[in-house]
Amino acid sequence: MKGNSYRQLRGSLFVHKWLNPIAETVSKNGFPSSRLYGSEKIFQGIVHRELDRLGIDRAFYPVRSAATYSYLYLLIRICTSLPVGRVLELGCGQSTLLLDELCRHRELHVTSLEHDPDWASMVGGQCERVSLEQVPLARRELLGRSSEVYDFDPGEERFDLLLVDGPKGSKRNSRRGALPFIEGALADEFIIVFDDAERRGELDTIGETLQRLDERGVDYSTSLVRSINSQFVIASSAFRAAVFF
């Protein structure tokens, strides 16, 4: 799914929003050896190859609701191939542990936000380099809808990689709390990665994000990485290579 405006992508987003739940259910329940599971095996092999190459021996558990291998693959590829420097992660977990390891291999400044104190403590206790902030969720009006937003003020800091994987998703307009950070905390050149992009709620928010970027006249490209979970990548012109990963 590639394009550089909401107008170009509107039809594809509509199809994915309404047909993906059916396709994913059939794939997961009717054909357990389907292409999506085959793709995840490919990403698994690449991730473990890269972990070995980088000398990372930390154990990762990409199961249940945790980051899948396709998501971990994207993080490794982006952080080792492109000159991103400042990362903002919404929702911590396996991806946070990987980012903590990647900080050893290049200069990355990672801020991860998590609202659940127990989960933040568990993940944060395993991190040495990531700045994990346990912050509450605040309910705010965003574009006429009440939405949960991480109560965090980045100040003057601007991030060139934004990872949207929290808080817990909803059936519609999921994780709209990312919009204030997209509006006010992104660097001029950036990459945004939405995890769980096969879900209707995330696709709602992806569509709104593209519309906001179009209104600002931002030049960007997009791609969809499909596996047992999908990731939607939005990259500005300087980071356009990310849509080919």
pLDDT at position 16:
82
pLDDT at position 29:
61
pLDDT at position 42:
95
User: What residues in the chain have per-residue pLDDT under 50?
Assistant: 32
pLDDT at position 14:
84
For residues 96 and 91, give the distance between their C-alpha atoms in angstroms, rounded to a whole number.
9
pTM: 0.88
What is the fold, at CATH topology level, of the domain defined by 6-244? Rossmann fold (3.40.50)
pLDDT at position 30:
57
Amino acid identity for residue 158 in this structure: R
